């Protein structure tokens, strides 16, 4: 019995000793935990926190290296947060069953890590220093975390090591949370620093672009900030911004006036000369206030705009030169028109005389060909003048109530003989929904149709030319189809450019200047429409013109021209013309129509003749370009003498500006050279009827 009691006492003493040892161990471990927490609290960075944790663990667990892994969510891989070996940084670790158990709170000792799924794909360098490992995990607010303790010895970590690591779990959680927080804080600081650096750089870039100089002044106009000590080589050595403008009182007053308005201002320009070199500075500014709305001062920028000013000056000079060149071109075209029209007037005039002089049939055919060539030359001149007027912007449309059907039919009838010569079928189809009358420029509509239909006939040898007009929405669409030679894709791109044709051989074979389509396109654009082309080589082409319908002014306008009523009254006409040939042509054309003609060689002779007996003359035909005294000046002097005899300009200067000038100096009409019989008859009939009315009243 005594022996049993002694044995029992011995066991109790052993248990007491073990308990005392455990308590002692716990005190040591608790002291180490407290020491670790204290060390972490005083750490300056995450590396010191990590080292403090490892220092505490090494007092109880022997290991060679350690890695802390974290992840933000369960779907992500683990990433290295801290490690004792730099080559492990930024390694990704996939999570399988072993790591999942650790994350959920188990502490696992691995005696052969290379056989575990998570270690299989790791580098040989890592496996060489990790022959055994001790792993556990914790849950933190930002996600999951794990610590891996590694040893180069196999079977190094015991059950005691697992117990110690579990015992140190609170310290482990605190350390990992602290490291993770510092990591995130450092990342945030890095991002914010980068953003600040980028923002500063952006501000500097903007500053260099927006202004050469930043300034800020108080309410007394004294500088509180200057970004640079000089601008445009001009030293800023004044305390008050107004003193900066000494010697430039006008600008100082303007600048002070802007500040006193307490409003933002922009681009206040200051012109100054520094070292005999012009400088232009542009000031912009705005008032600024405190949070209570009290004015604190003004701030703004200054830009050196000298280069921009010089560029603007150069552009203005270039524009003036371009305008001068364009004016010179217009003058040249007008001069060439006059020089060509003057002899052409004689050619057409004599042809008109010869046609009624009883020529033989063969001679009459020759004369017809000559007249056709002369009219072609006149058409070319008119095309060049039209193009020049449109490009210069001096071209205007003269709209009136017109019948589109009549206009297209007129062109068709004029070109029908050309189609008949080539045995080409010329057809025209008009949609009944097209209004009977529209408000447009009949002459220009006819000109466009003449160009398009004429080209279609010119370039078609076999087949037909078809004109189709339709009403589509509020637009009129006129298509001209032909079965001609077609136009290649490359040539179509430049077809509407001036003086351009599909190729050089076309110019040689078919003739023409290449202006017809250019003028047609410009006219259509002037009408707010467009022109398009579809063509296929050796099949044919289709030119399509579309322009908006403008309703006629009157519902049922009377569009018929006034018929010229023949009059038996002859006119006494004073002709002022310096060219003997044109004198002869005009005299023959007028006398053939039964009128009396008196010829003078220049404006001065015309004035003297009118002073002698102006009441004897019913009409003056006045050339413009004459020696001694031109037609314009002569007309001015005639009107100053209160001589009211009608004066009609007879000239080759036919530009729109010229016609306006003729009206301004007191002329009553205009007759272009070469003289067209129809236009001449219209002018003469007007004054014949006027003379008849006056005579009947008497």
The pLDDT value recorded for residue 143 is 79
Tell me how many helices (H) and strands (E) the chain has: 19, 25
The pLDDT value recorded for residue 230 is 66
For domain 396-548, the question of CATH label 3.90.1200.10 is answered with: no
Whether the pLDDT of residue 286 is over 70: the answer is: yes
Whether the pLDDT of residue 574 is over 90: the answer is: yes
The CATH number corresponding to 210-310 among 3.40.50.360, 3.40.190.10, 3.10.180.10, 3.30.450.20 equals 3.30.450.20
Report strand pairing: 234-235 vs 230-231: antiparallel
Q: Is the separation of the CB atoms in 367 and 356 below 8 Å?
A: no
Percent of the chain with pLDDT over 90: 7
Under DSSP, is residue 349 helix (H, G, I), strand (E, B) or coil? helix
Would you kindly state where each structural domain of the chain is located, as residue ranges? 20-186, 210-310, 396-548, 572-696
- The residue assigned the tokens 């002869």 is 584
| pLDDT tens, residue by residue, 485-511 | 888 777 776 666 654 444 444 444 444
**More confident of the two residues 183 and 121:** 121
Whether the pLDDT of residue 185 is over 50: the answer is: yes
Report strand pairing: 265-274 vs 277-289: antiparallel
Q: Is the separation of the CB atoms in 136 and 145 below 8 Å?
A: no
The dihedral sign for the CA sequence 26, 32, 33, 35: positive
- Which of the four pLDDT bands, split at 50, 70 and 90, describes residue 648? very high
- Which of the four pLDDT bands, split at 50, 70 and 90, describes residue 170? confident
Whether the pLDDT of residue 357 is over 50: the answer is: yes
Q: Is the separation of the CB atoms in 669 and 649 below 8 Å?
A: yes
373-387, 530-544, 586-600, range with the lowest pLDDT: 373-387
Under DSSP, is residue 72 helix (H, G, I), strand (E, B) or coil? coil
- The residue assigned the tokens 């016609």 is 659
Burial 387-410 (b: 16+ CB within 10 A, else e): bbbbebeebeeebbbbbbeebbeb
Q: Is the separation of the CB atoms in 598 and 572 below 8 Å?
A: yes
CATH topology agreement for domains 210-310 and 396-548: no
Token pair of 629 as six digits: 């005294």
The pLDDT value recorded for residue 613 is 87
Measured torsion, CA atoms of residues 177, 180, 182, 186, in degrees rounded to the nearest 10: -160
Q: How far apart are the first and last CA of the chain?
A: 180
Whether the pLDDT of residue 145 is over 80: the answer is: yes
Q: pTM of the predicted model, to two decimals?
A: 0.40
Give me the half-sphere count of Cα atoms (radius 13 Å) on the Cβ side of residue 131. 9
Percent of the chain with pLDDT over 70: 74
Whether the pLDDT of residue 21 is over 80: the answer is: no
The pLDDT value recorded for residue 138 is 82
Whether the pLDDT of residue 391 is over 70: the answer is: no
Whether the pLDDT of residue 179 is over 90: the answer is: no
**More confident of the two residues 583 and 25:** 583
- Which of the four pLDDT bands, split at 50, 70 and 90, describes residue 394? low
The CATH number corresponding to 20-186 among 3.30.450.40, 3.80.10.10, 3.40.50.261, 3.40.30.10 equals 3.30.450.40
The pLDDT value recorded for residue 262 is 87
Helix (H) or strand (E) run with residue 689 in it? helix 677-697
Token pair of 618 as six digits: 């019913």
Whether the pLDDT of residue 556 is over 50: the answer is: no
Q: How far apart are CA 318 and CA 333, in angstroms?
A: 22
The pLDDT value recorded for residue 503 is 46
257-266, 285-294, 343-352, 598-607, range with the lowest pLDDT: 343-352
Average pLDDT over residues 526-555: 84
- Which of the four pLDDT bands, split at 50, 70 and 90, describes residue 600? very high
| pLDDT tens, residue by residue, 290-345 | 888 898 889 888 888 888 888 888 888 888 887 777 777 666 666 666 666 667 66
The pLDDT value recorded for residue 338 is 61
Per DSSP, helices labelled H in 356-394 are 361-392
| pLDDT tens, residue by residue, 223-256 | 888 876 666 566 677 788 888 788 888 888 888 8
Average pLDDT over residues 572-588: 86
| pLDDT tens, residue by residue, 656-670 | 677 788 888 899 988
Helix (H) or strand (E) run with residue 523 in it? helix 516-526
85-94, 307-316, 428-437, range with the lowest pLDDT: 85-94
Q: What fold is seen in the domain 572-696?
A: Rossmann fold (3.40.50)
Rounded-to-5 percentages of helix, strand, coil across the chain? 50, 20, 30
């Amino acid at each position: 019995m005594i022996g049993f009691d002694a044995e029992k006492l011995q066991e109790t003493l052993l248990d007491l000793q073990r308990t005392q040892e455990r308590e002692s161990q716990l005190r040591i471990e608790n002291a180490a935990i407290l020491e670790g927490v204290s060390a972490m609290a005083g750490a300056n960075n995450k590396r010191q926190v990590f080292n403090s944790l490892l220092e505490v663990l090494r007092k109880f667990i022997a290991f060679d290296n350690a890695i802390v892994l974290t992840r933000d969510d369960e779907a992500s891989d683990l990433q290295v947060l801290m490690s004792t070996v730099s080559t492990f940084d930024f390694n990704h670790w996939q999570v399988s069953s072993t790591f999942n158990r650790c994350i959920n709170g188990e502490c696992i000792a691995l005696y052969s890590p290379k056989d575990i799924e998570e270690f299989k794909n790791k580098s040989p360098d890592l496996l060489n220093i990790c022959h055994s490992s001790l792993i556990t995990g914790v849950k933190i607010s930002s996600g999951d975390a794990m610590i891996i303790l590694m040893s180069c010895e196999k079977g190094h970590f015991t059950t005691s090591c697992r117990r110690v690591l579990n015992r140190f779990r609170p310290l482990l959680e605190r350390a990992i949370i602290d490291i993770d927080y510092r990591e995130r804080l450092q990342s945030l600081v890095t991002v914010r620093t980068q953003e600040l650096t980028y923002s500063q750089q952006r501000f500097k870039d903007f500053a260099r672009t927006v202004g050469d100089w930043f300034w800020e002044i108080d309410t007394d106009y004294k500088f509180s900030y200057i970004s640079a000590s000089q601008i445009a080589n001009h030293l800023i050595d004044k305390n008050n911004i107004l003193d900066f403008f000494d010697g430039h009182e006008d600008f100082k007053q303007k600048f002070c006036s802007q500040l006193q308005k307490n409003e933002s201002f922009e681009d206040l320009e200051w012109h100054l000369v520094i070292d005999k070199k012009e400088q232009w500075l542009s000031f912009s500014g705005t008032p600024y206030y405190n949070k209570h709305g009290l004015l604190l001062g003004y701030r703004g920028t200054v830009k050196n705009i000298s280069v921009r000013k010089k560029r603007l000056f150069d552009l203005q000079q270039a524009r003036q030169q371009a305008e001068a060149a364009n004016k010179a071109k217009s003058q040249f075209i007008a001069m060439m028109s006059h020089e060509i029209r003057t002899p052409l007037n004689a050619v057409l005039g004599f042809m008109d005389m010869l046609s009624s002089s009883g020529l033989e049939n063969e001679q009459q055919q020759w004369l017809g060909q000559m007249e056709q060539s002369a009219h072609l030359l006149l058409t070319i001149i008119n095309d060049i003048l039209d193009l020049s007027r449109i490009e210069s912007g001096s071209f205007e449309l003269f709209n009136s109530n017109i019948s589109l059907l009549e206009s297209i039919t007129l062109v068709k009838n004029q070109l029908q003989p050309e189609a008949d010569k080539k045995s080409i079928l010329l057809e025209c189809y008009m949609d009944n929904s097209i209004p009977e009358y529209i408000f447009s420029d009949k002459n220009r509509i006819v000109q466009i149709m003449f160009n398009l239909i004429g080209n279609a006939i010119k370039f078609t040898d076999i087949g037909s030319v078809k004109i189709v007009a339709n009403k589509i929405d509020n637009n009129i669409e006129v298509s001209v189809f032909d079965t001609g030679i077609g136009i290649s894709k490359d040539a179509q791109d430049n077809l509407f450019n001036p003086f351009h044709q599909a190729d050089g051989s076309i110019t040689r074979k078919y003739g023409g200047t290449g202006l017809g389509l250019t003028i047609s396109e410009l006219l259509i654009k002037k009408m707010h429409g467009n022109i398009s082309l579809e063509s296929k080589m050796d099949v044919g082409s289709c030119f399509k013109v579309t322009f908006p319908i403008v309703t006629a002014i009157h519902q049922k306008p009377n569009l018929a021209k006034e018929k010229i009523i023949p009059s038996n009254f002859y006119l006494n006409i004073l002709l002022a013309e310096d060219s003997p040939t044109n004198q002869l042509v005009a005299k023959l054309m007028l006398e053939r129509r039964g009128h009396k003609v008196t010829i003078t060689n220049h404006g001065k002779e015309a004035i003297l003749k009118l002073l002698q007996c102006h009441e004897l003359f019913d009409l003056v035909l006045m050339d413009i370009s004459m020696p001694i005294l031109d037609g314009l000046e002569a007309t001015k002097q005639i009107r100053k003498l209160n001589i009211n005899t009608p004066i009609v300009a007879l000239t080759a200067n036919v530009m729109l500006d010229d016609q306006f000038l003729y009206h301004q100096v007191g002329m009553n009409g205009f007759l272009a050279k070469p003289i067209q019989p129809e236009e001449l008859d219209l002018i003469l009939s007007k004054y014949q009827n006027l003379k008849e009315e006056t005579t009947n009243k008497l």
